[in-house]
Amino acid sequence: MAVSRDDVRHVAALARLDVAESRLPELVAQLNGILSHMDALAKVKTTGVMATAGVGDAAMPLRADIGPPIPLLHPLESFAPQMRDGFLLVPRLATHESAADESDE
């Protein structure tokens, strides 16, 4: 399963990364080099073997649906990029992507 330039473009878009065309050959070669070592897994018989998503003997314990207090040393305003009236300000959603729309966020 060789990785192509289109594959890299596709996963970069999924991962919200803007990979320059000039970097594609190197990334394609590196990903193919790495994935060639993963082919060893295909030869391992795993019929009937459960997939391990996590380790440990017990299932994830559930706690009461009460948030323990997480002491914040600094108020939210000190680390949020922008706030107004107690709300976090974030860029507008994609449906309002023009620069003009963003000016009145």
Partner 1 sequence: MSAVAHVRDAFARMAEVDAGPTGLNCILWTDEERALADAASVDAAATHGELAGVPFVAKDNIATTHLQTTCGSRILEGYVSPYEATVITRLRDAGAVLVGKSNCDEFAMGSSNEFSAWGPVLNPVDRTRVPGGSSGGSAATVAAGIVRIALGSETGGSVRQPASYCGIVGVKPTYGRVSRFGLVAFASSLDQVGVFGTTVHDAALGLEVIAGRDALDATSADCPVDRYSTAGTADLKGVVIGRPREYFPATLDPRVAARCEAALDLLRARGAEVRDVSLPHTDLAIPVYYIIAPAEASSNLARFDGVRYGLRVPANGLREMYESTRTRGFGPEVTRRILLGTYVLSAGYYDAYYKKAQEVRTLIAQDFRAVFDAGVHLLFTPTTPTPAFEFGAKSDPYEMYLNDIFTATANLAGVPAISVPIGDIDGLPIGGQLIARHFDEQTMFRGAFALEAARAGAR
List contacts with partner 1 (CB under 8 A). 1, 3, 7-8, 10-12, 14-19, 27, 30-31, 33-35, 37-38, 40-42, 44, 46, 49-58, 60-63, 68, 70-76, 78-81, 88, 90-94, 97-99, 102
CA distances from 46 to 39, 51, 57, 61, 66 (A): 14, 9, 21, 28, 41
Work out how close the CB of 70 gets to partner 1 at its nearest, in angstroms, rounded to a whole number. 5
CA distance 13 to 98: 20
Contact 71, 57 (CB under 8 A): no
Q: How far is the CB of 60 from partner 1 (least distance, A)?
A: 6
Nearer to partner 1 by Cβ, of 25 and 33: the residue is 33
Distance of alpha carbon 27 from the chain centroid: 19
Task: Please compute, for residue 67, the number of CA atoms within 13 A of its CA located in the half-sphere on the CB side.
Answer: 3
What are 83's strand-pairing partners?
88
* Residue 78 C-beta: closest distance to partner 1, Å: 7
Q: Which is nearer to partner 1, 10 or 87 (CB)?
A: 10
What's the min distance (Å) between Cβ of 85 and partner 1? 18
